[in-house]
Structure 1
């Protein structure tokens, strides 16, 4: 409810600071009062002990009267404070008292006859005055005397009440100054946030290259700005990739469509025989086939980006899956008189979605066949290593320059754009292969030396074998 009422973060910070400060001040006041009360009480006890030594010096023994008070009559003053006193012989009764109307002895427990056994108690006179009473025993020439001394606690109560009044009166003043200071410094602290808000309002889809100011990268606001900047960078790259993807897809679609239209228009202008019409239709069907493959690739990438693909994993042997795919694509290699040499060193179990993973194997094999010269060899190896299960597809083509190696997995990227379009490639095969491998928790790597071919390595984690129950 408070967040709905107080919408400003600055006001909420100030309110929380005031609440914490008020709680700390109240706790400080209570501790201060308790400490002062303890100090005043200790000082009062020390004064009573000093008074006790003074009183003991005025007790004398007279033969005819026994123990008598030989000090001044009436009230005794010490340190400017009034001292209440009552002296009582343990056998003969009262010796001396300056109490006006009552005996402290009547309400105190009987003392034990032990020298220097001091007991402090509280006592209140009929007029309401509060006393701190010291009860002690003193021996004078073998005779025991009970000494009861009392000092007023009103001064201590007055000091404590005055301190409490001062603290209560200063409490709202401190809170007012604290509120002003907290509100001011909260504004100073949150001023970078206003700059972030103002800068954020100026950023649109066309201005994603802008970045928020970072005054102090070590504090929370600086980290917030850096997080927003990272997000803006990702959005900027995503928008650029989307625009590039749209432009490349449009370009790739326009090329076969233009070829179909051109061939059709030429056929309509120049009537030919049946064979010529068949060749024209065949050319058109080839372009349609390219369009179909391009649309299938685009659909695969779109599904991967949207997260709509939910793979169904099964434990199977990697070598068997690759071998089946090689058997399907072998006819393309035979057309170029190429030799697919496959070597499976040992079985290796992996968790695969066969329909997805075969796209990776198929695209890598197509890529190898496409760039391997006629009559050359393509090596396919499946092995088990410490990393997991590894598939290597190595061609004997021209290889890839190191400057292009980091970009070959980007969409619509071609090392040689003219040759790739001539051979029917769209620059999507390796991007799909990378997605198909990564969705299985693996990785794909390129190793290439210009003039010595390329080697694509696929590393997949080994599947954990289900534990079988021990035989009885």
Structure 2
């Protein structure tokens, strides 16, 4: 047999099923055989019991204890004895009164012990010295003169065993045929039931990285195999999405890295071939440093996202005062707001705390506030608000920019996604700020959403887990 076939699920299922069925059939055959043999012996015992009663009627009519037909009934019964019934009769003093000629002198048992007296014996099966299997029954009978007589009556069991072996032979032929038929049927049923698995396996093997848009065909999504197919299709969808994101990320990262590098190369090449004074070269170097700074920020952002994707960042959660953290983050960006004559305010409840990694959450706030400064107009207003709603801490960053069109809101947290690409590059953005902010919030077991009311401005809302009342950590 092919080793692959032996390892197949249908073969293993059929083997287990056949083994269990074989054990069940053997137990069934054993129980039927024992019951059938017991039933045959019960019938034989009833027949023996009736014949013993007939013998007793004969003894009643023979006061001397000699079993000799003295009537038509007696002649009939003696004819039976001569035709197959085996009979012994013993007196109370242990003398043999009668023994059937068919026994040829073979006893049906030992002579009764005189001192112990006569007592009946239960039905029993045994072999005579000649090898004949018999079933014997004994009973104590009292003659008309009051003397007890032990009557032993036996009959051959050869017909019983012949009937038993005929039935056993029939079972021995029928049960293997049943087992074979059921095993073949079970294998075919298993093959049919597992056919969708073969189809799914074959189809899945054909799907490559370039064909992740394809899906498995599922006939019945409600059964176990259908649920397996649905789960596989869901995994394919996630893989397709991940591959698409990876392709976009690679393309966007290459483009973003190429832009400042091209600018640095162009400025450097021009400066090499164009003489100028000290101020000219200072401007050239300043432009190169600006592009280098943008490139450094982009690389830092890429490294942050790389560590996040690899799961190498483990948050250290402590109970943190969110108002203090918001104030600290706003102070770092206050210079940028002043350059555009913007108003940057931190307001709200100063007592609100949350379980968070202070450093990672500050990165999210810095990115959101920096984003608000970039997109708010000159002399605009930026608000950072800390609140507590139903026990959950919230941090909101509200800008006064142009807002986000509805068709872009679901994608603004994607890497390198820009609502206005030209304006974002002009502002020095890399397209990773909101992605990093979303990651920083999620690793703190929080969530972030954007809300745009009619009119200018957007609100980014961070929701964090409740601070445990039993936490004894130091508040930072």
- Normalising by structure 2, report the TM-score: 0.83
Residues 224-233 or 422-431, more deviating: 224-233
Match of 1:361 in 2: 365
C-alpha separation in 2, matches of 1:185 and 1:355: 61
Match of 1:121 in 2: 124
The answer as to 2:29 corresponding to 1:26 is no
C-alpha separation in 2, matches of 1:177 and 1:422: 79
Give the 3 Å change call, closer, same or farther, for CA 120–385 of structure 1 in structure 2: farther
Partner of residue 82 from structure 1, selected from 78, 84, 88: 84
Match of 1:55 in 2: 55
The answer as to 2:157 corresponding to 1:153 is yes
Give the 3 Å change call, closer, same or farther, for CA 398–123 of structure 1 in structure 2: same
The 8 Å contact of residues 346 and 384 in structure 1, kept in 2 or not, is answered as no
C-alpha separation in 2, matches of 1:431 and 1:333: 22
- Deviation of 1:320 after TM superposition, in Å, equals 2.8
Match of 2:64 in 1: 65
The 8 Å contact of residues 347 and 384 in structure 1, kept in 2 or not, is answered as no
Give the 3 Å change call, closer, same or farther, for CA 7–322 of structure 1 in structure 2: same
- Deviation of 1:207 after TM superposition, in Å, equals 1.4
C-alpha separation in 2, matches of 1:252 and 1:77: 116
Q: CA RMSD in A?
A: 3.6
Secondary structure of the residue aligned to 1:390 is strand
C-alpha separation in 2, matches of 1:266 and 1:109: 137
Give the 3 Å change call, closer, same or farther, for CA 432–81 of structure 1 in structure 2: farther
C-alpha separation in 2, matches of 1:222 and 1:76: 78
Matches within 5 A, 1:432-447: 432-447=436-451
C-alpha separation in 2, matches of 1:38 and 1:125: 21
Residues 103-112 or 287-296, more deviating: 103-112
Residues 95-104 or 419-428, more deviating: 95-104
The 8 Å contact of residues 348 and 383 in structure 1, kept in 2 or not, is answered as yes
Matches within 5 A, 1:401-420: 401-420=405-424
C-alpha separation in 2, matches of 1:359 and 1:109: 110
Match of 1:36 in 2: 36
Match of 1:205 in 2: 209
Q: Which has the higher strand share?
A: 1
The 8 Å contact of residues 86 and 154 in structure 2, kept in 1 or not, is answered as yes
- Deviation of 1:41 after TM superposition, in Å, equals 2.0
The 8 Å contact of residues 341 and 379 in structure 1, kept in 2 or not, is answered as yes
Match of 1:338 in 2: 342
The 8 Å contact of residues 256 and 290 in structure 1, kept in 2 or not, is answered as yes
Match of 1:301 in 2: 305
C-alpha separation in 2, matches of 1:296 and 1:319: 27
Match of 1:450 in 2: 454
C-alpha separation in 1, matches of 2:435 and 2:456: 23
C-alpha separation in 1, matches of 2:111 and 2:65: 26
Give the 3 Å change call, closer, same or farther, for CA 164–66 of structure 1 in structure 2: closer
Give the 3 Å change call, closer, same or farther, for CA 384–90 of structure 1 in structure 2: farther
Partner of residue 136 from structure 1, selected from 136, 139, 153: 139
Give the 3 Å change call, closer, same or farther, for CA 109–135 of structure 1 in structure 2: farther
C-alpha separation in 1, matches of 2:178 and 2:384: 82
1:283-303 deviations in Å (ceiling 9; x for gaps): 232222222111111111111
The 8 Å contact of residues 271 and 284 in structure 2, kept in 1 or not, is answered as yes
C-alpha separation in 1, matches of 2:302 and 2:113: 102
- Deviation of 1:38 after TM superposition, in Å, equals 2.0
C-alpha separation in 1, matches of 2:111 and 2:219: 75
C-alpha separation in 1, matches of 2:204 and 2:141: 87
Matches within 5 A, 1:60-459: 60-61=60-61, 65=64, 71-72=74-75, 75=78, 77=80, 82-88=84-90, 90=92, 95-98=97-100, 99-104=103-108, 106=110, 119-138=122-141, 143=146, 144-169=148-173, 177=181, 180-181=184-185, 184-268=188-272, 270-345=274-349, 347-386=351-390, 388-459=392-463
Give the 3 Å change call, closer, same or farther, for CA 139–388 of structure 1 in structure 2: farther
- Deviation of 1:415 after TM superposition, in Å, equals 2.2
1:76-123 deviations in Å (ceiling 9; x for gaps): 539x98333334455796554424424435267999999xx8832333
Secondary structure of the residue aligned to 1:104 is coil
Residues 379-388 or 320-329, more deviating: 379-388
Q: Would you say how many aligned residue pairs link Structure 1 and Structure 2?
A: 463
Identify unmatched segments of 5+ residues in structure 1. Answer: none
Give the 3 Å change call, closer, same or farther, for CA 68–152 of structure 1 in structure 2: closer
The 8 Å contact of residues 94 and 113 in structure 2, kept in 1 or not, is answered as no
C-alpha separation in 2, matches of 1:151 and 1:387: 95
Give the 3 Å change call, closer, same or farther, for CA 429–105 of structure 1 in structure 2: same
- Deviation of 1:240 after TM superposition, in Å, equals 0.9
Give the 3 Å change call, closer, same or farther, for CA 246–318 of structure 1 in structure 2: same
The 8 Å contact of residues 442 and 461 in structure 1, kept in 2 or not, is answered as yes
